[in-house]
Structure 1
């Protein structure tokens, strides 16, 4: 773990495997003697977690490094084993499966305690981090005053005024959501993420809206509709990635509302995943791209739900000018912009152009 802190996470290297193997060897020795890791050994493991808590940094990468490092070390022991050592390797593997959990729980609780000592009271944020990495413990859930649920609403949004949510923002969100066990907050890339347990007394949509309003009351506002995905507890990491992607697509599409689900950006999702499909759609409006007033007319027409009076008023032109422009669009593209097929083609083409002109939407947060 010290190598992880100093070297930026040397997981899987020969040096880190050797470091973790030495810990496992000590553990195997204690396992043979029927003992457990002594308190001073646990304290050595948790010291770094306390330092991270005091600096307001996340603990999830450290736990991930520890778990992966242990797996690498155990696998390396099996690969290099000599005949007759299988029984010892079985003992080592058994200890690793229990000892790693023991150390992980100790690190988690030390981290929570250090944060409380620092006055942050962000144990729920820690729990959210661990849940996203599949390493949550019942002890930590109890410390965070949270009763785990089978399903969660995963909400991801970008905070107004911040490129990425700061530790203070995440802690403030965590404190605001504590009352009523509304959810757990954490950071994933540039998104503030909320894991809201689905209880029987309220629906997912109602919960997501309540979360947005609760955060707004403590000065945390999402820059665009937040993405929302319903997922079982075991799939929260993937759900947060999907929610962040939905938020990005909703932002590009200029959608309104508090939260957006996948069914509201289903076309954008399909377009963003297929670059050839996106290119073909964009080619439909290539003939009018160099004529800004025609492109703006097309966008405004669909924004006004095909209401020509409102469209002409928004464009500040006469209705006959609007009619002329629509006829000109049909002449240049061969597609009638007010017929059903034309509307479908042009709406998708405009969405594809928006996606293409923006930075590529990341697959994950």
Structure 2
């Protein structure tokens, strides 16, 4: 059995990956010459080939050492410098191939996530299996926003994803960056994953973080829908000045309904709240009072504490609302109309230039 066949059988490394190395050793042993540029490039290419063919690095190193033993003869031992250069070329190529594979995987991952969250269906189900997602199931998407946009290269992405996989023992969880947001895609059968994701967001992002959670939906289109619901939940939270940092789309379903017919909501706001423009100081203080009262489930004392005014002042303002609009928060039917109008006002930015009121609770 020749040297190459013996090496291949003993280490499991294909013989064609070792021929150049054995030749370099033989030449170095007989002449003392170090491998030249062409030989180094040949060995580097063989190292890349070994990595791409899945040959373990340990097996390759074992083959290199065994080759030294088999080709050594008394008086013709390969110079250590030649062995060092040859082995170094092997491993340079091996590491280059591994680094390229990681770059290719990251690029494929970015493309897949972009296609998944935009609903582009080019071989989506087939590609999803590569990343552990079974798109026939229902998935939930959560998004987290920080004060600064989150970029694709942020190490936080990999750290949170690994923590979720360890926690739930499942590989069908995906964490990525998209449009400056941190995105988590998880099966609808793992509701605790959203809580764990939020835990890591709270621990790693600044005080201005906010999380939106979509509803579970099936199929590739379901992921897109849940992603949009989660993103819209954050946007609604900002527009309405909602207090919670975690907002669920399922808790905010009334708002998309209101926004579907903007003309109707504008008419409601103008009809119900328009008379507040006549109030001294403008409509904003009265709107703030209504929001505080609705947020406190009608408890005027709690509303007064939130507004840092007296209970008597709250009562006075509510009476002003009743006199100007004809609607009273104490009447169940009128309360619903009034609260819907107040919510609509915040959604459409009425009065013009008004900012959302902090502390509003859905």
Query: What is the TM-score with the length of structure 1 in the denominator?
Result: 0.56
SS of structure 2 residue aligned to 1:195: strand
Q: Say whether the 8 Å CA contact 2:146–2:181 is kept in structure 1.
A: no
Deviations 1:53-79 (A, max 9, x none): xxxxxxxxxxxxxxxxxxxxxxxxxxx
How many angstroms apart in 2 are the aligned matches of 1:271 and 1:223? 26
Stretches of structure 2 that go unaligned for 5 or more consecutive residues are 1-97, 354-362
| Shift, 1:336, TM fit | 0.7
* Residue 342 of structure 2 is aligned to residue 355 of structure 1: no
Of 242, 247, 258, 1:271 maps to 258
Name the structure 2 match of 1:336. 328
How many angstroms apart in 2 are the aligned matches of 1:221 and 1:174? 21
SS of structure 2 residue aligned to 1:229: coil
| Shift, 1:230, TM fit | 0.8
| Shift, 1:125, TM fit | 5.2
Q: Say whether the 8 Å CA contact 2:213–2:248 is kept in structure 1.
A: yes
Q: Say whether the 8 Å CA contact 1:160–1:220 is kept in structure 2.
A: yes
Name the structure 1 match of 2:11. none
How many angstroms apart in 2 are the aligned matches of 1:259 and 1:152? 21
The size of the alignment, in residue pairs, is 242
Stretches of structure 1 that go unaligned for 5 or more consecutive residues are 1-111, 360-365
SS of structure 1 residue aligned to 2:215: strand
1:316–1:195 distance in 2 versus 1, CA, 3 Å:
closer
| Shift, 1:167, TM fit | 3.5
Q: Say whether the 8 Å CA contact 1:281–1:349 is kept in structure 2.
A: yes
* Residue 220 of structure 2 is aligned to residue 238 of structure 1: no
SS of structure 2 residue aligned to 1:162: coil
Question: Whose radius of gyration is greater, 1 or 2?
Answer: 2
1:213–1:318 distance in 2 versus 1, CA, 3 Å:
closer
SS of structure 2 residue aligned to 1:288: helix
* Residue 176 of structure 2 is aligned to residue 191 of structure 1: no
Query: What is the TM-score with the length of structure 2 in the denominator?
Result: 0.56
SS of structure 2 residue aligned to 1:285: helix
1:320–1:257 distance in 2 versus 1, CA, 3 Å:
closer
Of 199, 213, 229, 1:227 maps to 213
Name the structure 1 match of 2:65. none
How many angstroms apart in 2 are the aligned matches of 1:258 and 1:312? 23
| Shift, 1:276, TM fit | 0.8
1:318–1:185 distance in 2 versus 1, CA, 3 Å:
closer
In the TM superposition, 1:153-168 aligns within 5 A as 153-163=139-149, 165-168=151-154
How many angstroms apart in 2 are the aligned matches of 1:162 and 1:272? 28
Deviations 1:98-120 (A, max 9, x none): xxxxxxxxxxxxxx9746259x9
Deviations 1:16-51 (A, max 9, x none): xxxxxxxxxxxxxxxxxxxxxxxxxxxxxxxxxxxx
Indicate the RMSD between aligned Cα atoms, in angstroms: 3.5
